[in-house]
């Protein structure tokens, strides 16, 4: 019995040999692991600020503990529930008006039969993703201002200039349209990769049976990429309390504050546009992360209940 047991020293020696045999692969992985360790996991020590009253002269570790006082102050703020509701409303709109667009674009690009035209279209649709929101917002401001070309056309046609940038009713549609224009081409690459993995014999058999192009899309393409769609939907649900800061920060103004101040903008305002209270803002950030995690787990559970593979094993 004693001889059949594996000694810890023998197991370590075997592990060392295996690591040495795969040293090239581990060397490739090492930069990514170091990046995560330095810029993702190490800063998590700052989360303790949510339970402390930060003092700059004492630092994060030396600042006194205040327990849940920061969270109590957050929930007492009358602005906080409004910001939460606004964040949920905008991001649920993103799920409705932005999430399906890359899927539809991938399906349309896949139906283009001329390879050169397909590549050109994909390049054109992907290019806006590499523009920063500073550039995009500057272009939109120039186009939609009161003296911009769009209002000039409206006035020449006999209409009145429309304050697009200062109209709260237009702000949300402008967010969704500009976000789709910028990112749906890049996001469609994931779905195009999933479509490329579909067995071509299924299409050939369906064509022989007389299936139309729309029937091939609905009966073959969509069911095959559904696992990818469900994973992306779960990830989108996990970020429903955050995201879109760059876009909203650059496109919003004082006239649209009532419809544009989401949770990220609220944290920015509390931290940088008023006397800084890092414990207060960290408590909001920790609350946001906890809600995102809960929504991620709920979405994953829902995907499994509907027959999907889910994201978490």
The domains of the chain, with CATH numbers, are: 1-38 (no CATH), 58-132+167-305 (1.10.3720.10)
Q: Are 251 and 178 within 8 A, CB to CB?
A: yes
| Alpha carbons 25 and 29: distance in angstroms, whole number | 6
Whether residue 1 has pLDDT greater than 50: no
Give residue-wise pLDDT tens across range 103-150: 999 999 998 888 888 889 989 999 999 999 999 999 998 898 888 898
Sign for the pseudo-dihedral over CA of 51, 55, 56, 58: negative
Give residue-wise pLDDT tens across range 6-53: 566 667 888 888 888 888 888 998 999 999 899 888 888 888 888 988
Q: Are 248 and 262 within 8 A, CB to CB?
A: yes
Give residue-wise pLDDT tens across range 91-105: 999 999 999 999 999
Q: Are 87 and 261 within 8 A, CB to CB?
A: no
| Alpha carbons 275 and 181: distance in angstroms, whole number | 37
59 DSSP β-pair partners: 55
pTM over 0.75: yes
């Amino acid at each position: 019995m004693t001889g059949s047991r594996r000694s810890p020293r023998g197991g370590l020696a075997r592990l060392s040999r295996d690591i040495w045999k795969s040293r090239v692969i581990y060397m490739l992985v090492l930069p990514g692991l170091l990046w995560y360790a330095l810029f993702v996991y190490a800063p998590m020590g700052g989360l303790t600020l949510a339970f402390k009253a930060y003092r700059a002269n004492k630092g994060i570790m030396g600042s006194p503990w205040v327990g849940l006082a920061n969270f109590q102050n957050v929930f007492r703020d009358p602005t906080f529930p409004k910001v939460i509701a606004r964040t949920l409303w905008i991001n649920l709109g993103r799920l409705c008006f932005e999430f399906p667009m890359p899927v539809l674009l991938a399906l349309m690009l896949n139906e283009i039969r001329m390879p050169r035209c397909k590549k050109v279209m994909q390049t054109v649709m992907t290019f806006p993703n590499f523009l920063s929101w500073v550039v995009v917002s500057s272009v939109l401001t120039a186009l939609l201002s009161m003296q911009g070309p769009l209002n000039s056309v409206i006035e020449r046609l006999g209409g009145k200039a429309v304050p697009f940038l200062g109209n709260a009713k237009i702000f949300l549609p402008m967010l969704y349209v500009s976000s789709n224009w910028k990112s749906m081409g890049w996001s469609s690459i994931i779905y195009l990769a999933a479509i490329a993995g579909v067995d071509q014999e299924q299409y050939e058999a369906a064509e022989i049976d007389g299936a139309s192009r729309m029937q091939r899309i609905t009966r073959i393409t969509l069911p095959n990429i559904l696992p990818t769609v469900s994973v992306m939907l779960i990830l989108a649900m996990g970020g429903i309390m955050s995201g879109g800061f760059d876009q909203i920060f650059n496109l919003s103004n004082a006239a649209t504050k009532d419809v544009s101040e989401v949770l990220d903008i609220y944290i920015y305002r509390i931290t940088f546009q008023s006397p800084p209270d890092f414990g207060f803002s960290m408590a909001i950030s920790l609350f946001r992360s906890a809600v995102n995690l809960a929504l991620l787990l709920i979405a994953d559970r829902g995907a499994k209940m509907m027959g999907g593979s889910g994201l978490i094993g």
